[in-house]
Amino acid sequence: MRKNVIIISLIFAIPLMAYMALTASNQTTAQTTQAGKPEVIKFTSAMCLDCQTMNKIFKEIFPKYENKIVLTEIQVQDKNSFNEEQIKKYNVTLVPTIVLLNSKGQQVKRIEGAVTKEQMDSYLQGLE
């Protein structure tokens, strides 16, 4: 009887410990906003088709802005305190959501859903 209790306990404990170890090592590291630079906060999910489209667009157009604009990507499915705080702060209810902040940290634009490459490029050009 005692062996059964130990075996059953291990069946539940080992996967729980493995899950905790994996999620602790997979936390998103937050980029600190560099003073005087505008910021783009991109809320995304690996299982979202529009997010994948926006990721491709960012890979194409963002390199020319990477010295001027700070990009922070938040995977909403990764549950950690920073992500939860940002999701609440910007009231994110769907993905992709892209929040554009000016150099003073004020929100100047909020984009929900996918936009074209030309539109995104235009938004980034106007960000100061």
Contact assessment for residue 66 and residue 59, using Cβ atoms and an 8 Å cutoff: no
pLDDT tens for each residue of 92-106: 999 999 999 999 999
CATH number reported for the structural domain that contains residue 45 in this entry: 3.40.30.10
101: closest CA among 93, 89, 113? 89
Q: Residue 18's pLDDT is what?
A: 59
What's the domain range around 69?
A: 39-125
Residue 64 inside a domain? The answer is: yes
> What is the number of other CB atoms lying within 10 angstroms of the CB of residue 99?
22
Domains: count for the chain = 1
Q: pTM higher than 0.85, yes or no?
A: no
Residue 69 inside a domain? The answer is: yes
Residue 98 inside a domain? The answer is: yes
Residue 1 inside a domain? The answer is: no
Structure token pair of residue 74: 């938040």
The percent of residues above 70 in pLDDT, for the chain, comes to 79
Given its phi and psi angles, is residue 91 left (phi above 0), alpha (psi -120 to 50 degrees) or beta? Answer: left
Contact assessment for residue 95 and residue 43, using Cβ atoms and an 8 Å cutoff: yes
